[in-house]
Copies of this chain bind each other. A is one copy, B any other.
């Protein structure tokens, strides 16, 4: 399949192939599309990292990018997402990266759209390239996933990352533990247990902090920044409980002094900016895969 929509669609073999390609790019190897190809990045929610990271990856693969400003497009004239994407396909765009606030937005696209769709995040659903770059960062550090203890802390029920990562990490042999406000834990997450914050930090190889998504909290239990940091944040005190060789991750953007103490963002254990760097390699790998699958598909049609 050309699309990348959820982590659940990927087998362990798929994941390993993508991680290997990312490492190949990380080592300085280059690959460009065999013909001029055009991509579009449709971001209907704010993004710095993911959008810029895809832009960088696309350019490194020699793709041309058709700019698309979601706030001045015909979506303001009531056009559906399907018609927008179908239009871009008709115009000659070869691949679309989409972030949208609606869960599973891609379901209305898949049946009739013939270009690969890369999911850049759907509502409270998934964010597969974020998961993959997290996996890549962990793999670089530990060489394996088997037996690793991964603690995911924070706004679990709203997190695209928590859901995708839990599934993938478990499938790859790691043990996932959740912590943070108990009322934010999602009991439908059958693959990981909840543990109190200090205990969850002490036994972790990876402490993965999630951003508090203020913009998705409405009428829910409320913590002040200080309260949250004190009760569930990675404080200067708590970081000392972490094991030797363990690392800190955060998908960013960071709320400094909320999820993590300001001074720890760039500390020795932190892989936060490393994750961003790795994001480019992962997206190069994912785009390469989509292009190759898509061209094989086209060739196949030509031969029939």
Binding site for B on A (CB under 8 A): 38, 40, 43, 46-49, 52-53, 55-56, 59, 64, 66-80, 83-84, 86-93, 112, 211, 214-215, 252-256, 265-266, 273-274, 276-277, 279-280
Contact = CB atoms under 8 A, between A and B. Distances in A.
Contacts of A90: 273-274, 276-277
Nearest to A59: B64
A12 B56 CA distance: 38
A43 B277 CA distance: 23
A256 to B, nearest CB: 7
A52 B256 contact: no
Nearest to A283: B91
A74 B91 contact: no
A98 B214 CA distance: 27
B49 A91 contact: yes
A93 B69 CA distance: 21
A276 B87 contact: yes
A265 B47 CA distance: 33
Nearest to A89: B273
30 contacts: A38-B59, A40-B52, A46-B73, A46-B74, A46-B76, A47-B73, A48-B68, A48-B73, A48-B87, A48-B88, A49-B87, A52-B91, A53-B91, A56-B92, A56-B93, A59-B64, A59-B66, A67-B67, A69-B69, A77-B215, A77-B253, A78-B253, A80-B256, A83-B252, A86-B273, A87-B273, A90-B276, A91-B277, A91-B279, A91-B280
Given A43-B72, A69-B69, A277-B92, A253 B56 contact: no
A75 to B, nearest CB: 7
> Can you list the 3 inter-chain pairs with the closest CB atoms, starting with the nearest?
A79-B253, A90-B276, A48-B74
A72 B47 contact: yes
Given A56-B38, A252-B83, A112 B48 contact: no
Given A215-B77, A253-B79, A276-B90, A66 B70 contact: no
**Looking at A48, A49, A112, A253, which has the most chain B CB atoms within 10 Å of its CB?**
A48
Nearest to A274: B90
Contacts of A255: 78
Given A47-B74, A92-B277, 8 more contacts: A40-B52, A46-B73, A47-B72, A56-B66, A59-B66, A83-B252, A87-B252, A112-B266
Nearest to A88: B52
Contacts of A88: 48, 52
